[in-house]
Amino acid sequence: MAIMIIPLAIIVHSVLSWIFGMTLRPGWHSTIFGPYFVLAAIYSGTGVLIIAMWIFRKRYKLEAFILDKHFHYLGYIMLVLAAGYGYFTFSEYLTDWYGSEKWISQLIHKFFDWDQYGALFLFTNVGGIVLPIIVVAVPQLRKPGILAIASAIMVLAMWVKRYLIVVPTLETPLLPIEDIRPEYIKYSITWVEWSLTFGGVASFLLFFTIAAKFMTLIPVSEVTDKEDEKINQIEHGKEYTIPAHE
């Protein structure tokens, strides 16, 4: 499934990014949107995987099988992806800012205006890029629980980033409009849209939980190796203990 899902992820997110990138709207017309979206999908997927590992480890007492080193390895992957994603983000806004086109300048101003999208923009960059890098880079913070919290914040920040990709651009039209009432130029989320969003998240959690009931979480070989080690120690009259490095 992993071999199948990698090219599928690249194809799906590339097509999605081209739908944005091939328009002339400010903030969307960019040549880096393809790799930017693919990297963002893999990055947020790594965070979801860390969260799922931590939940299953706690829920089913799998500390002997899902080890701290597994979280460390995924943390290293997340660190590399965070650095790459941060580089793409910096490149996107640096080139747009330096170009100084009227429409793009208006869009960037909204990202740095605290009364508009400044707080969300700061959260996406600090929580989605800086925080995971710090947590993984500092050995004292590189613990399963802290990694899971940082991953949850990162996934939320990546969701807010999608919001910032869509809404501010649609609020910055290329052509001036005659009717400039707030409800025409300022978007606000309705309860129907919140319901659809939470329904989508709930559906994912439901299908993920159902799949976990029928798919093997821990390879049988791992369980067999542990059982064989336990039996050998019992046969030799030794008390079975989990090795210190685990």
pLDDT, tens digit (0-9, with 9 covering 90-100), for 97-147: 887 778 788 888 889 989 889 999 999 999 999 999 999 999 999 999 999
d(CA 134, CA 140): 10
The answer on pLDDT for 240 being more than 50 is: no
pTM of the complete model = 0.81
Number of Cβ within a 10 Å radius of residue 148: 20
Q: Please determine, for residue 176, whether its predicted confidence score (pLDDT) is greater than 80.
A: no
Which helix H or strand E contains 21, and what residues bound it?
helix 2-21
Residue ranges of domains in the chain: 2-173+181-190, 216-246
Task: Note the pLDDT of residue 47.
Answer: 94
Confidence of residue 245 (pLDDT cuts 50, 70, 90): very low
Residues 6+ apart with CB under 8 A from 123: 157, 160
Q: State the pLDDT confidence band at 31, using cuts at 50, 70 and 90.
A: confident
Mean pLDDT of 176-191: 74
Residue 175's pLDDT band, with cuts at 50, 70 and 90, is confident
Q: Which residues contact 14 (CB under 8 A, 6 or more apart)?
A: 34, 37, 38
For the ranges 47-61, 73-87, 118-132, 232-246, the lowest mean pLDDT is seen at 232-246
Residues near 163 by beta carbon (within 8 Å), at least 6 away in sequence = 120
Q: What is the CA radius of gyration of the chain?
A: 23
Query: What are the φ and ψ backbone dihedral angles of 245, each rounded to 5 degrees?
Result: -70, -10
